[in-house]
Amino acid sequence: MASEMFRLDGKIVAVVGAGSGIGEACALAAGAQGAVTVCLDLKGESAAATAEKIRAAGGRAEAGVVDLVDTEGTAAALEKVVADHGRLDGLVCTPAINVRKPILKYSLDEFDKVVNLNLRGNFAALMAAGRIMTAQKSGSIVLFSSIRSVATEPGQSVYAMTKAGIIQLAKTAATEWAQHGVRVNAIGPGVIETPLTAPIKNNPDWYNAYAMKSPMNRWGQPSEMAGPTIFLLSDAASFITGTVIYADGGWLAADGRFTPPGM
């Protein structure tokens, strides 16, 4: 049946960043769709809490600690998934940080901090999962980019650069690993209410300006990123690789904030 195409029954899915925000929403959705969900996060207690929510809903889940900046630790965590379950069918990787500053006020230490997590860390997770999945001849990897990969604004230079880099990583990995049965895609969220965007939410003018920029006139919720993620992990996306799904409420489709008279 067509509805079964979106199920993840029996699949082993690791979600890095599962302790909060988009990662938590994706982990909960994977569990609800039947996956054995391995919740990984820098904060072990938060990962464990997400895993417990999945189990409380009747799903199968476990938790572990992963710091994406620790390349060896990331690889070891994914290898442990294989040691425990025999395979790794899906990887979702959501963590990122942002230092909002004009270019001329940025320090190189701040540059390194953002790049080390957003690019180097995600690359390490991609590479570790790729080794496993190319060997087993199957798997789906979902990385998280952003609308900032296409449309940026003052103060977003390094973050935007890294999110554009995520897309190119996904595309290159997709072309290298397709012959091994491994798919790699990215999701580009719009403005989503997460811990990363909390400073904006706490500023009413800033919050409302972002809401009005979207044709839907609102922010997105972490749960709204779960659907595209589950789709890319599932067999429903079996012929989709090397692409980006922008889940942005129409942000990139809109030109400016002014609606001409009579429209």
Q: Using one digit for the tens of pLDDT, what is the confidence trace for 240-256?
A: 999 999 999 999 998 76
Task: Tell me the mean pLDDT in the region 150-170.
Answer: 96
Least reliable range by pLDDT among 13-22, 73-82, 200-209, 221-230 = 200-209
Instruction: Domains for the chain: give ranges and CATH numbers.
Output: 2-246 (3.40.50.720)
pLDDT of residue 206: 86
pLDDT top residue among 259 and 156: 156
Strand pairing class (244-247; 12-16): unpaired
Q: How far apart are CA 59 and CA 90, in angstroms?
A: 16
pLDDT of residue 254: 87
Task: Tell me the mean pLDDT in the region 160-186.
Answer: 98
pLDDT of residue 237: 98
pTM: 0.94
What's the pLDDT band for 263 if we cut at 50, 70, 90? very low
What's the pLDDT band for 258 if we cut at 50, 70, 90? low
Which residues are identified as catalytic? 159
Residues 250, 254, 257: CA angle, nearest 5 degrees: 120
| Farthest-apart Cα atoms in the chain, separation | 63
pLDDT of residue 15: 98
Mean of per-residue pLDDT scores for the chain: 94
**Angle of helix 122-136 versus helix 157-177 axis, rounded to 10:** 10
Q: How far apart are CA 188 and CA 208, in angstroms?
A: 21
pLDDT top residue among 201 and 77: 77
pLDDT of residue 255: 73
